[in-house]
Amino acid sequence: MLPAPPNIMHPGTLAIVIFVGVAIAAGVISVAVRWLNAQPKWRTLTLPGFSVEVAGSVNDAQLSNALLLALEVLQPVWPGASLKGADLHIIVMDVESWLNIAGIRVGGEQGGNRVRVGKNLSALAHELAHFFQQTRDDEIDAAHESWMSRGIWRADDVYRAALRSSP
């Protein structure tokens, strides 16, 4: 019977093991960097009487004007509506619309204290209406069932028309 060969790794095998290990580590690092870069970079936008956290490449003056306009047109629905102490986070996307989780093209989404709108800001009043329904009325009306009777659709139309006519 022959003795067992010594347990020695071939130099080529060691090189392959090291190469694969480095490739896996590089992949993990790449995924981590992309994840960190995808996280919103928040900044505070302060307006008279309130402030909001904002992420995205949007002109602060343009967003301020749009926010004040949206609050103004929503006053008939929610008199005295304000964002003071609201802990609202607004993400302005780099596109005007995108496919939501259900595969529907949207220009805005709201969930909890986060509002996500397209770069043209046309959905801001609409998403703030959802925010106020949730935070002031303690209801969620994703299907917009009460919007006609409450005047929310009218306020949204007024906002969009005024936004289009502003410089």
Query: CATH number for the domain including 109?
Result: 3.30.2010
- Whether 79 is covered by a domain: the verdict is yes
Query: What are 144's two structure tokens?
Result: 């917009």
| Number of domains within the chain | 1
Q: Determine the pLDDT at residue 32.
A: 56
Cα separation of 146 and 130, whole Å?
11
The C-alpha angle 66, 70, 72, rounded to 5 degrees, equals 115
Q: Determine the pLDDT at residue 55.
A: 86
- Whether 48 is covered by a domain: the verdict is yes
Residue 76's domain comprises: 43-165
> Does the CA dihedral 146-150-154-160 come out positive or negative?
negative
- Whether 52 is covered by a domain: the verdict is yes
Q: Compute mean pLDDT per 10 residues along the chain, 167 residues long, and list them.
A: 68 74 72 60 83 86 92 93 86 91 93 91 95 88 91 96 88
Q: Determine the pLDDT at residue 166.
A: 80
